[in-house]
Structure 1
Amino acid sequence: MTTCNPIQVQAFNTADVSEQIRATPGWVQHYQQMSPGHFAGRIRYLDLQGVEVYEEQMNTRVEQNFSAPEGALAFCFDRSDNTLYLLNEESRNIWITPENYQEIAVVFGPQFVRQHGLDVARLEGLFMAPLNGGQNALFSRWLSATLTRLTQTLDPPSREALTQQLLDDCLFILDNAQVCLDRGALQRRADERRIMQRVGQWAADSPEEQLNLLQLSQVAGGSLRQLQQTFKTYTGLSPTHWLRLRRLNSARRELLNRSPEQTTVAEVAMNWSFWHLGRFSSSYRALFKELPSETLKRSPTL
């Protein structure tokens, strides 16, 4: 008879998007708050030694720029519309979650992918495509309930049994979801997806760089009209509004990392091209529900 470590679900409550990122190590990601309110997030995490399960909740809209860990294959279930998204390390994209967003994901690590002969190349064309199927909602509810049960039960299933069930279920759901794909719609969205990938690449590689609207359209490799339509589809924002929210988030990060002895609110505001201090403070308070001076008074958090 062999012994193994018990299955344990870890849970983290977060009060800032930067804390939300730190609670999911291994992912390449950059978060920014995009709707007003005090941020409140929660992560539940289960490590099955080769397979990981993440459940994420966030109350405000959040821009996510991300890609999965190198060599991994991730099945991400968006519980707001019960859509499955398949990700790998090359699935680098940018989008904005709705308020009160919930997602649950099963991540098969690189060694597991190799050992089980999961041919990721055969999935080309499915990554980041919205995959719809009748089993998506049922599976994500079951998986969330399983995480809850694992925190309560004294007789959990074996790692091997749960891991095999997750693999079998995810591949079954993927097989059924492919039947529901609208190939024509996927093709029509291909150009828009490429635009967002270019914008997402720029945003991840240069998180503090500033651009204007026309410069952003050059980065995107499309016309201003294409850029506007793509942002409407993927983020629900205009590119100008997105750029402004991005600068507000950058200002917040600087305020959190500095002290009143090191800088002033006015200096930080001007660093991010907010030339009217009153309007900056008003916009900042509307988004983060506190004045920039209140943020600056805190001790550095990072």
Structure 2
Amino acid sequence: MTIHYPLPLQTRIVEATDADEHANNLTNWEQRYDQMTAGVFHGLLEELQLPHMQVFRESTSQGMHQSCCVWPDAVWFGLPYSAQATRINGRVAEKDAIMVRPGACEFELMTPADYTIYGVVVRLDALQNAADRGGYALDWNQLGRTERVHAHPGLRRTCVHALAELLQPMAPHNEANTAQQCVFDALLPLLDTRAPDAAMPTSFARRQRIVAKAQDYVREHHDQALTVPALCDKLFVSRRTLQYCFEDVLGINPMQYLRIVRLNGARRHLRDAAAASKTVRDVAADWGFWHFSQFSNDYKKLFGHSPSEMLRQRRH
């Protein structure tokens, strides 16, 4: 269920009670969300569209594994507002970090429960023009390959405060260009005074590759009741190596990942109108769950409602 609230000054607020529905609410993004922690999902998106940028605040009640992609010729900056760390492509973004990713480039986030993040997506040419006007030097080579910018804590707090003010429903930003300049004024000092991100260790890059291969294999063989030993055989790695890779990159063990990613796949399948003729048992089998009662119990524990309830919601 999605609830839309019409608000003045182009501020948009959308609530959702399903992770994928929430992922689709962010304008012009390509996203897929897997719920990682147990409980009913609630998502809140507050979004403001400006001439050359998008500003938003996103809140999610459950831990999520997010696959994201921003539109081309743009760059995304993410400022987490949470006590717990975020992982971007497996790397931990510390408390004062700003996450950075270019457009048309898929990236992954692991976010904890009760999470809020501020985001800015801005066209590259508009960002460069604003930097030139303000006398800021941007290192595009660094921004293009980094995932984390280490920001001065005070400047970061100032930026978050400016974004929060703009996103207030009755904020005084009647003139869009003025609001946009406020964002540039808060964001550019962070990029101009950044400290370089540490180079990715070779060992971590190898673990990223192993996890990516495992994820691809699980998606391609989702109808099979995969086990960790079987996955190790397919990837030619030991069980201990696979364990280290998943814990280092995603913060969970391979067995948890196998169960959660298939449960999220079944949830999507149950929501899909194209699968209207399928029963819950059919969907469970399609995702490698052969013990139906265990599937139903695990599904309800993770999402807070039974698979049959999800099916009834779709049909109505």
Structure 1 length-normalised TM: 0.81
**What letter corresponds to residue 31 of structure 2 in structure 1?**
Q
Instruction: Note closer, same or farther for the CA distance 1:111–1:125 as it changes in structure 2 (3 Å cut).
Output: closer
Q: Tell me which of 160, 164, 181 is aligned to 1:144.
A: 164
Aligned 1:266-281 pairs, distance under 5 A? 266-281=281-296
Instruction: Note closer, same or farther for the CA distance 1:93–1:132 as it changes in structure 2 (3 Å cut).
Output: same
Correspondence for 2:182: 165
Aligned 1:1-302 pairs, distance under 5 A? 7-80=9-82, 81-89=95-103, 91-110=105-124, 112-113=126-127, 120-126=140-146, 128-129=147-148, 131-134=150-153, 135-148=155-168, 151-153=169-171, 155-156=172-173, 158-178=175-195, 181=197, 183=198, 189-195=204-210, 202=216, 209-210=221-222, 212=226, 213=228, 225-257=240-272, 262-300=277-315
Q: Is the 8 Å Cα contact of residues 208 and 250 (structure 1) preserved in structure 2?
A: no
1:94 deviation in Å?
2.3
Using the TM superposition, name which of 274-283 and 93-102 deviates more.
93-102
1:29 deviation in Å?
1.6
Instruction: Note closer, same or farther for the CA distance 1:184–1:66 as it changes in structure 2 (3 Å cut).
Output: closer
Q: Deviations for 1:262-287, whole angstroms, at most 9, x for unmatched residues? A: 22222221111111111111101101
Gaps of 5+ in 1: 1-5
1:17 deviation in Å?
1.0
What's the secondary structure of 2:51's corresponding residue? coil
1:297 deviation in Å?
1.7
1:86 deviation in Å?
0.5
1: distance between equivalents of 2:160 and 2:98?
10
1: distance between equivalents of 2:161 and 2:170?
17
Instruction: Note closer, same or farther for the CA distance 1:197–1:260 as it changes in structure 2 (3 Å cut).
Output: closer
1: distance between equivalents of 2:241 and 2:305?
35
Q: Which is strand-richer, 1 or 2?
A: 2
Q: Is the 8 Å Cα contact of residues 259 and 298 (structure 1) preserved in structure 2?
A: no
Q: Is the 8 Å Cα contact of residues 94 and 196 (structure 1) preserved in structure 2?
A: no
Using the TM superposition, name which of 275-284 and 257-266 deviates more.
257-266
Correspondence for 2:89: none
1: distance between equivalents of 2:149 and 2:245?
16
The sequence identity of aligned pairs, in percent, is: 25
**What letter corresponds to residue 160 of structure 2 in structure 1?**
S
What's the secondary structure of 1:95's corresponding residue? strand
1:50 deviation in Å?
1.0
Q: Is the 8 Å Cα contact of residues 70 and 110 (structure 1) preserved in structure 2?
A: no
Instruction: Note closer, same or farther for the CA distance 1:122–1:34 as it changes in structure 2 (3 Å cut).
Output: closer
Instruction: Note closer, same or farther for the CA distance 1:145–1:161 as it changes in structure 2 (3 Å cut).
Output: closer
Q: Deviations for 1:91-124, whole angstroms, at most 9, x for unmatched residues? A: 4232321001101111112553575677743424
Gaps of 5+ in 2: 1-7, 83-94, 133-137
Report how many aligned residue pairs link the two structures: 287
Q: Is the 8 Å Cα contact of residues 79 and 137 (structure 1) preserved in structure 2?
A: no
1:218 deviation in Å?
8.4
**What letter corresponds to residue 152 of structure 1 in structure 2?**
M
Instruction: Note closer, same or farther for the CA distance 1:196–1:132 as it changes in structure 2 (3 Å cut).
Output: farther
**What letter corresponds to residue 166 of structure 2 in structure 1?**
T
RMSD after superposition: 3.3
Structure 2 length-normalised TM: 0.77
Q: Is the 8 Å Cα contact of residues 166 and 179 (structure 2) preserved in structure 1?
A: no
Q: Is the 8 Å Cα contact of residues 61 and 115 (structure 2) preserved in structure 1?
A: yes
**What letter corresponds to residue 145 of structure 1 in structure 2?**
E
2: distance between equivalents of 1:12 and 1:177?
33
